[in-house]
Amino acid sequence: MTSDTPHQVERVDAVLPAASDAPAVRATAVSKVFATKTGDVAALSEVDLEVAAGEFVALIGPSGCGKSTLLRLIADLDQASAGTLEIFGKPAKRARADQDYGIAFQQAGLLPWRTVGANMALPLELHGTGKAERGARVAELAELVGLTDFVDRYPDQLSGGMQQRVAIARALAARPKLLLMDEPFGALDEMTRERLQTELTRIAAETSAAVVFVTHSIPEAVFLSDRVVVMSPRPGRITDVIDIELGGARSEALRESPEFFDRVTAVREALHGAPVTRASET
Ligand SMILES: Nc1ncnc2c1ncn2[C@@H]1O[C@H](COP(=O)(O)OP(=O)(O)O)[C@@H](O)[C@H]1O
Ligand SMILES: [Mg+2]
């Protein structure tokens, strides 16, 4: 045995246990510059963000402020120009290899030759889950996103909104401790969207998964989150972080409560650059 070769130390086929006290996400002084024909674009500048295990954080801000870029760096789908990213204490690349997170982006990105059920089961197959358990989990997931009657259909037989629900189910399939979501409900009608928001808060609480959730919607950010991170463009950076403090269990009634409107106002003012004058912050 040549146990001193670096290859053996750096093998990525064995899953490293996540450090138990490490945050789900730690971004430190992260910058991203895109070189384009018309010059450099500073998509992110010196972003510091820590998401605790089990915490729900929404990223909100105008188009082009770097929300998707930040999520893609966390997911190791692109590399930062400067700074460091850690997922449960591991480098982003390692966390990707270990499948430490589930992803649901704007585009459903389903495999057209697989049925709805087989698409939902994909992460389970990659995790080596047995067939019987996969079948049971797919039935659960299909129920959760309201697609029980569609598990044997193919993606092109579904509406865009239904395809997106399959993608959400797929992200949840392996019960990851971190979910990365980029406007996953953007294409859905308002009623389905609110139902899935409620489901998502319940699932996140039940599985104690941390979530980083990109959205354009202020009420959606407030309803879902423990903290709302407000970003601004040119260069993309974090300008405000608002503690929502509405408790763990989010019910439909919350949407009509004065506390909810108070937080919506706070986020709106932060987005518009006005001073936030919540009594709880003085
Ligand atoms: N692959 C890329 N090449 C060049 N510029 C990019 C690329 N991806 C994003 N950008 C630019 O980086 C900035 C941030 O983009 P993005 O993260 O998509 O913003 P958001 O998701 O907040 O709308 C924008 O100015 C965008 O045009
Ligand atoms: Mg985006």
Give the residue-averaged pLDDT of 15-21: 63
Of the chain, the percentage scoring pLDDT greater than 70 comes to 90
Report the alpha-carbon distance of residue 227 to residue 214 in Å, rounded. 12
Give yes or no for residue 37 having a pLDDT over 60. yes
Report the alpha-carbon distance of residue 193 to residue 209 in Å, rounded. 20
Report the alpha-carbon distance of residue 233 to residue 252 in Å, rounded. 33
Tell me the pLDDT of the chain averaged across its residues: 88
pLDDT band at 2 (very low <50, low <70, confident <90, very high): very low
Contacts of residue 63, Cβ cutoff 8 Å, sequence gap at least 6? 216, 233
CATH 3.40.50.300 in the chain, residue ranges:
20-100+177-272
Note the Cα 56 to chain centre separation in Å: 9
**Residue at token pair 């120009």:** 81
Give yes or no for residue 151 having a pLDDT over 80. yes
Query: For ligand 1, is residue 137 a contact (CB within 6 Å)?
Result: no
Contact between 60 and 201 under an 8 Å Cβ cutoff? The reply is: no
Pocket residue to mutate for ligand 1, from 30, 33, 41, most atoms within 8 A of Cβ: 41
Give yes or no for residue 279 having a pLDDT over 70. no
Could you give the angle at the alpha carbon of 141 between the alpha carbons of 165 and 172, nearest 5°? 75
Q: Nearest ligand, CA of residue 79?
A: 1
Determine the CATH number of domain 20-100+177-272. 3.40.50.300
Report the alpha-carbon distance of residue 144 to residue 203 in Å, rounded. 10
Of the chain, the percentage scoring pLDDT greater than 90 comes to 65
Any idea how long the chain is? 282
Query: For ligand 1, is residue 41 a contact (CB within 6 Å)?
Result: yes
Query: For ligand 1, is residue 43 a contact (CB within 6 Å)?
Result: yes
Which residues make beta-bridge pairs with 101?
178
Contacts of residue 115, Cβ cutoff 8 Å, sequence gap at least 6? 151, 152, 153, 154
Query: For ligand 1, is residue 3 a contact (CB within 6 Å)?
Result: no
Pocket residue to mutate for ligand 1, from 32, 65, 69, most atoms within 8 A of Cβ: 69
Pairing between strand 56-60 and 227-232?
parallel
Ligand 2 centroid distance, CA of 105 (Å): 9
Report the alpha-carbon distance of residue 92 to residue 27 in Å, rounded. 10
Ligand 2 centroid distance, CA of 106 (Å): 8
Q: How confident is the model at residue 196, as a pLDDT?
A: 81
pLDDT tens, position by position, 222-234: 999 999 999 999 8
Give the residue-averaged pLDDT of 41-64: 96
Ligand 1 centroid distance, CA of 43 (Å): 6
For ligand 1, atom 4, name the residue with the nearest CA: 34
Q: How many CB atoms neighbour CB 38 within 10 A?
A: 6
Atom of ligand 1 nearest to the CA of 231: 22
Give yes or no for residue 3 having a pLDDT over 60. no
- Higher local confidence (pLDDT), 229 or 194: 229
Contacts of residue 157, Cβ cutoff 8 Å, sequence gap at least 6? 150
Q: Work out whether the CA dihedral 190, 193, 197, 198 comes out positive or negative.
A: positive
pLDDT tens, position by position, 73-96: 999 999 999 999 999 999 999 999
Strand ranges inside 4-151, DSSP E: 25-36, 39-51, 56-60, 82-87, 90-91, 101-104
Burial tier of 88 (Cβ tally within 10 Å: 0-12, 13-18, 19+): buried
Ligand 2 centroid distance, CA of 214 (Å): 8
Q: Nearest ligand, CA of residue 43?
A: 1
Query: For ligand 1, is residue 216 a contact (CB within 6 Å)?
Result: no
Determine the angle formed by the axes of helices 160-172 and 190-207, rounding to 10 degrees: 0
**Residue at token pair 């939902």:** 120
Q: How confident is the model at residue 9, as a pLDDT?
A: 46
Contact between 188 and 27 under an 8 Å Cβ cutoff? The reply is: no
Pairing between strand 210-214 and 56-60?
parallel
pTM of the model: 0.86
Q: How confident is the model at residue 282, as a pLDDT?
A: 43
